[in-house]
Homo-oligomer: A and B are copies of this chain.
Amino acid sequence: MQAELIFTGTELLLGEVLNTHAQYLGRQMAAHGIEVILHTTVGDNWDRLAQVLKAALERADLIIVTGGLGPTTDDLTKDTVARVLGLPMVLDEPTLQWLREFMARRGTPVFESMARQAYFPAGARVLPNPVGTAPGALLEHQGKVVILLPGPPRELKAMFENSVVPYLASLGNPGMVTRTRLLKVTGISESEVQELIGDLGGQGNPGIAYVAQPGEVHVRISARAADGAAAEQMITGLLEKVRERLAGYLFGMDDDVLEEVVGRLLAQKGLTCALAESCTGGLTAARLTSVPGSSEYFLGSIVAYDNRVKEKVLGVPLETLQAHGAVSQQTAVAMAEGVRSLAGAHLGLSITGIAGPGGGTPAKPVGLTYIALAAPDGTSCREFHFPGHRQAVRQGAANAALNMIRLYLLARS
């Protein structure tokens, strides 16, 4: 089975938005053994979309179109598909009802423009949108399949996983399938990772690829084979070797996120933590609280951006700030111990550093960061030097801080 992906949106042509759908859908289709032969990106120009769709229908069996399902007048994907396939647009009552209830919960009426989202090409299977108001659609028409997905990445992924994956599975397994595992490490650079495992493989089948993220590195192991079991078998051996070599840095696999890993460990041990953040400015707390249920183990954070807050709220002695400066081991330790007793938490974690671009000196350059962890069995502090621009330093510092909690908890398992 051959497929084509069509991405709609002038913002993609203008480069205002990075097209991440191409990568996500590319991987998903490969994982399901469907060969993607072409990607096309077209602007909010419906004659051109019609041309592109006609050409795709001549080449491919399955076509996925993303974007243009919203309520506004530039959202015309469904109408265009209906026109090309020669189908009328019909109202889907259940969808309209669902929209009415959705809007009622928000206390706003259903505008005419919103109601447009309840119309679909005749015969379409409506794909519910678990995280938005624009439903998708799936059409089987004259031996071809056309699937319409919303543009917002979160909505597209949720709909793909809930509705499209089961459909693709129901088609049976057409050919070579790809399997991928992701190993996520932190506290080590991409080149250091390559030094450690580069000899185990690179391009090829199975293959190893690297993706550097701020503060972490993702190692992707992938294999292609006739069926999923064979591909997974090819991965397993290599995966074990890589896992062994990266053991000291590996914090998770696949969809794991560091803040979730840390949260699980805290919950398992029934421990609570509180933060005192300076250079990260709340970023570490924001990541910990992005996890549902984090109130079970996260008490709060004092974002002590100004020294008066460090002194007055966290109780950092004025002499410490004056003698050693806000970015120093002494201040980091006082912040960690201060927030631990203030919040009555088992663990107090502090971060103070120079995020830049300004504020650096030869003695204390941009990127210098101290992270301290105050625990029942004492306080430890580490010095870090994070490379890159302001956001990279902040993300690197937040990762290192979360990782310090992780390592502390693992060491006491």
CB distance B13 to A26 under 8 Å? yes
Give the A interface residue count (CB, 8 A).
119
* A105, CB-defined interface residue at 8 Å: yes
Provide the bound-state CA to CA distance between A303 and B304, in Å.
11
Q: Which residues of B contact A289 (CB under 8 A)?
A: 280-283, 303, 305, 394
- Closest residue on chain B to residue A55 by CB atoms: B55
Indicate if the CB atoms of B48 and A43 lie closer than 8 Å.
no
- Chain B nearest Cβ from A242, distance in angstroms: 13
Instruction: List residues of chain B with CB within 8 A of the CB of A299.
Output: 305-306, 308-309
Residues from chain B with Cβ under 8 Å of A305 in the complex: 285, 289, 294-295, 298-301
Interfacial chain B residues near A23, Cβ < 8 Å:
15, 17-19
**A198–B309 touching, CB < 8 Å:** no
A interface majority secondary structure: mixed
- A sample of 23 inter-chain contacts (CB < 8 A) reads A10-B222, A12-B26, A17-B211, A18-B20, A19-B19, A19-B23, A37-B43, A70-B210, A71-B190, A71-B191, A74-B209, A106-B385, A113-B198, A281-B288, A282-B289, A290-B390, A293-B358, A299-B305, A302-B313, A303-B303, A306-B343, A309-B343, A313-B342
Residues of A within 8 A of B (CB): 7, 9-20, 22-30, 36-46, 48, 52, 55, 70-74, 102, 105-108, 111, 113-114, 131-132, 152, 154, 178, 180, 182, 189-195, 198, 202-203, 207-212, 220, 222, 274-275, 277, 280-286, 288-290, 292-295, 298-306, 308-309, 312-313, 342-344, 356-358, 365, 385, 387-392, 394
